[in-house]
Amino acid sequence: MGPKTKQDPESVVREIKRNTRRKFNSEEKIRIVLEGLRGEDSIASICRKEGIATGVYYKWSKAFLEAGKRKLNGDTIREADSSEVSVTSAQLQRVCGSRLFEVSIIDQHFKSVSPQSHFCIFPGRHCSRSRSI
């Protein structure tokens, strides 16, 4: 071990506080914010009891109320989980595959009826000799 460096007491206390800082999960944050919204105790006393700064409480309260407003307005975007994405992807592949198959059958039919005719679902874009339906 190397020689110990002498630190001033304030930096030692700051380091201890930083390493022992409590992390609140979302349920605890909601409970604290709701307790403050009830108004039975002052915000300062709730914050002292929970060991948080009043600024932290107001930040949580603002985020809580804004999230509720967004939810009530229907502005929320739900993130899909991987199983939903894979199911949707498989459905899209099935639908696109069946549509491409149908288009190829129609194209073959038009070619067999008249070899000069050509069917294209994107007329004028991909084929020089295309015609629309």
pLDDT by residue (tens digit) across 26-40? 999 999 999 999 999
- 19 versus 68: the higher-pLDDT residue is 68
Extract the tokens encoding 61. 């309260």
DSSP state of 125: T
Rounded mean pLDDT, 67-91:
72
Q: Which residues contact 61 (CB under 8 A, 6 or more apart)?
A: 33, 36, 37
Which percentage of the chain shows pLDDT scores above 90?
Answer: 30
- 75 versus 131: the higher-pLDDT residue is 75
CA dihedral over 46, 51, 55, 56, signed as positive or negative: negative
DSSP state of 116: T
Q: Could you tell me the end-to-end alpha-carbon distance of the chain, in angstroms, rounded to an integer?
A: 83
Q: Is the pLDDT of residue 10 over 70?
A: yes
pTM: predicted TM-score of the whole model, two decimal places: 0.45
